[in-house]
A and B are shown apart, each in its own frame.
Chain A
Amino acid sequence: IAGITQAPTSQILAAGRRMTLRCTQDMRHNAMYWYRQDLGLGLRLIHYSNTAGTTGKGEVPDGYSVSRANTDDFPLTLASAVPSQTSVYFCASSVEVYGELFFGEGSRLTVL
């Protein structure tokens, strides 16, 4: 089934550890995004990529990095996790930057 796959689904890690959330899409979409979702707040954009080889910062990029080596993969790395990064992380993609978003199932991250 075509779509977006995120891994892991859920993770608990200690503060200070490095963590990479994986995201792969098989729809050949140009644009990809990482959002975090916290209770009572709207989705907040962390980083985005309009096309392979390019990335940009969103609303809340501090403490996170991304890469887009090819069309399909868009990993999100937390270099040194902190408790405020406890959240549900959604990867999404769209055909073009102004189009409908397709979301992965989310990665629930708890930093202790």
Chain B
Amino acid sequence: GQNIDQPTEMTATEGAIVQINCTYQTSGFNGLFWYQQHAGEAPTFLSYNVLDGLEEKGRFSSFLSRSKGYSYLLLKELQMKDSASYLCAVMDSNYQLIWGAGTKLIIKP
């Protein structure tokens, strides 16, 4: 079966750096997405990786290793507004998105 694993919850301190991991086992691979979802709101797109390596976008970076079935989202200079759930999703060979359950990130002052 297809599976996406990410930690259920993480806690970090304002101003620090946090890395949220995502491992996947899917039928084929056509890219990996990260979305941010604040409580009670809709998910919003953060990043897309289809090739190995690091993609940087401001305070957020996303890394992909296809051979290891692994990605991480790196958040730098954490702000209170970064408290949210972070969803990892992989597009399989049929262009269907397989979603992880999400990682709830709690930022403490």
Residues of B contacting A: mostly? strand
Question: Which of these binds chain B: A13-21, A22-30, A42-50, A66-74?
Answer: A42-50
CA gap between A58 and B98 in the complex, in Å: 11
Of the candidates A40, A44, A97, A106, the one whose C-beta lies within 8 Å of that of B99 is: A44
Q: Beta-carbon contacts of B28-69 to A below 8 Å, as 1s and 0s?
A: 001101010000011111001000000000000000000000
- Hey, which chain A residues are within 8 Å of B4, CB to CB? 42
- Hey, which chain B residues are within 8 Å of A104, CB to CB? 42
- Hey, which chain A residues are within 8 Å of B98, CB to CB? 42
Of the candidates B45, B97, B100, the one whose C-beta lies within 8 Å of that of A45 is: B97
- Tell me, yes or no, whether A100 is within 8 Å of chain B by CB: yes
- Tell me, yes or no, whether B84 is within 8 Å of chain A by CB: no
- Hey, which chain A residues are within 8 Å of B35, CB to CB? 101
Residues of A contacting B: mostly? loop
Q: Which residue of A lies closest to B6 (CB)?
A: A42
Is the Cβ of B44 less than 8 Å from the Cβ of A103? yes
- Hey, which chain A residues are within 8 Å of B43, CB to CB? 43, 90, 101, 103
CA gap between A53 and B82 in the complex, in Å: 39
Is the Cβ of A45 less than 8 Å from the Cβ of B42? no
Is the Cβ of A42 less than 8 Å from the Cβ of B33? no
- Tell me, yes or no, whether B12 is within 8 Å of chain A by CB: no
- Tell me, yes or no, whether A41 is within 8 Å of chain B by CB: yes
Instruction: Tell me, rounded to whole Å, the shortest Cβ–Cβ distance linking B104 to chain A.
Output: 11
Extra A-B contacts (8), CB below 8 Å, given A42-B99, A42-B101, A106-B41: A43-B43, A43-B99, A45-B97, A98-B95, A101-B35, A103-B44, A104-B42, A106-B42
Q: List 5 A-B contacts (CB under 8 A).
A: A40-B101, A42-B99, A45-B96, A98-B95, A100-B45
